[in-house]
Amino acid sequence: MSVSLNKFVAATGICSRREADRWIEAGRLTINGNVAVKGNRVEEGERVELDGRPIGEKPEKVYLAFHKPAGVTCTTDPRDPDNIIDFLNYPERIFPVGRLDKASTGLILLTNDGDVVNEVLRAENEHEKEYIVTVDRPFDDRFVQRMSAGVPILGTRTNPCEVQRLGKRRFRIVLTQGLNRQIRRMCEHLGYRVHTLKRIRIMDITLGELGVGDYRPLDGFF
């Protein structure tokens, strides 16, 4: 019985189906030596390779919490010189769960378990993500109220969220959405520019005292 290529790759634990589709589009996957295309299926016994390396056996599950520095890109693409995989240089093949944009810092999870990616990123699960943000100038209570109530961006309106003032230009925000550059776009809509953005929590996983550029295992969490 055959299975779709993206499902086959995700089942090995090295990425999600979405990431597998990107690898297919980039020409990084082959089946029996032939460059794969979207729609390909894998029969039992066929050889699937990523960048010339065979995949197929399920590795031992890896879950990491990483304190991403600014300047690191949350991609597995080796063509990006700032990609997160080369930065970590972890001995097993892993991939990031979700994204933090290049200028942002803080907590990001990495794993080889595609099921965890789907669980964490699925919008309907509404997992909380907490951030500390500084903007370019002082804001007032109206800014906090408008951010909390929802802001029109990207053709939709952000969900109501928790926002707490921490200083004249600094606030804490808890989101359950993951729109592209959401916090930066929300601030820009209200006339502010983000200076620093740091994620300190995903669900019950906190950044804690983890140093910038360091990671720790999350054995037993998932």
Positions marked catalytic: 101
Q: Is the dihedral of CA 212, 122, 12, 71 positive or negative?
A: negative
Closest CA to 174 of 207, 138, 211, 126: 126
CA 18-22-25 angle, to 5 degrees, is 135
Length of the chain: 222
| 12: nearest Cα among 52, 61, 84, 77 | 61
